[in-house]
Amino acid sequence: MPYLFTSESVSEGHPDKVADQISDALIDNFLAWDPDSKVACETLVTTGLVVLAGEVKSQTYLDVQKIAREVVRKIGYTKSEYMFEADSCGVISAIHEQSADINQGVDRVKKQDQGAGDQGMMFGYATSETENYMPLALDLAHKILTELAALRRENSSIKYLRPDAKSQVTIEYSDDHRPIRIDAIVVSTQHDDFDSESAMQKKIQDDIIAILIPRVKAQLKPELQSLFTDAIKYHINPTGKFVIGGPHGDTGLTGRKIIVDTYGGKGAHGGGAFSGKDPSKVDRSAAYATRHIAKNLVAAGVCDEILVQVSYAIGVKDPMGIFVDTYGTAKVDFNDGEIAQKISAIFDMTPYGIETRLKLRNPIYSETAAYGHMGRKNETVSKSFTGSNGEKKTVEVELFTWEKLDFVDKVKEAFKIS
**Residues forming beta bridges with residue 323, ordered by sequence position:** 309
Whether residue 184 is found in the same domain as residue 210: yes
Ligand-binding annotation for 295, yes or no, is no
Q: How confident is the model at residue 203, as a pLDDT?
A: 97
Low-confidence ranges of the chain (pLDDT < 70): 99-109
Q: How confident is the model at residue 36, as a pLDDT?
A: 94
Q: How confident is the model at residue 282, as a pLDDT?
A: 96
Whether residue 88 is found in the same domain as residue 160: no
Task: Assess contact for 127 and 304: CB atoms under 8 A.
Answer: yes
Radius of gyration, alpha carbons of the chain: 22
Whether residue 267 is found in the same domain as residue 386: yes
DSSP state of 183: E
Q: How confident is the model at residue 102, as a pLDDT?
A: 56
| Sheet strand arrangement including 305-312 | 120-127, 305-312, 321-325
Ligand-binding annotation for 97, yes or no, is no
141: which residues sit within 8 A by CB, 6+ positions away? 7, 8, 9, 167, 168, 169, 264
Q: What 3-state class would DSSP assign to 199?
A: helix
Q: How confident is the model at residue 98, as a pLDDT?
A: 73
Q: How confident is the model at residue 112, as a pLDDT?
A: 76
Ligand-binding annotation for 164, yes or no, is yes
Whether residue 379 is found in the same domain as residue 264: yes
Whether residue 124 is found in the same domain as residue 108: no
Whether residue 192 is found in the same domain as residue 296: no
Whether residue 270 is found in the same domain as residue 170: no
Q: How many helices (H) and strands (E) does the chain have?
A: 13, 13
**Which among 248, 275, 302 is the end of a domain?**
248
Ligand-binding annotation for 250, yes or no, is yes
Which domain CATH number covers 305? 3.30.300.10
Q: Look up the domain containing 214 and give its range.
A: 3-10+136-248
**Which among 112, 145, 160 is the end of a domain?**
112
Whether residue 36 is found in the same domain as residue 155: no
Whether residue 282 is found in the same domain as residue 353: yes
Ligand-binding annotation for 367, yes or no, is no
Whether residue 108 is found in the same domain as residue 163: no
CA distance linking residue 81 with residue 71, whole number of Å: 18
Whether residue 152 is found in the same domain as residue 19: no
**Residues forming beta bridges with residue 94, ordered by sequence position:** 53
Q: How confident is the model at residue 121, as a pLDDT?
A: 97
Ligand-binding annotation for 413, yes or no, is no
Whether residue 20 is found in the same domain as residue 56: yes
Ligand-binding annotation for 242, yes or no, is yes
Ligand-binding annotation for 98, yes or no, is yes
Amino acid identity, position 330: A
Task: Assess contact for 317 and 352: CB atoms under 8 A.
Answer: yes
How many folded domains does the chain comprise?
3
Q: How confident is the model at residue 108, as a pLDDT?
A: 57
The pLDDT tens digits of the residues spanning 78-128 come to: 999 999 999 999 999 999 987 665 555 566 557 777 889 889 999 999 999
Q: How confident is the model at residue 104, as a pLDDT?
A: 57
Give the pairing of strands 252-253 and 38-46: antiparallel
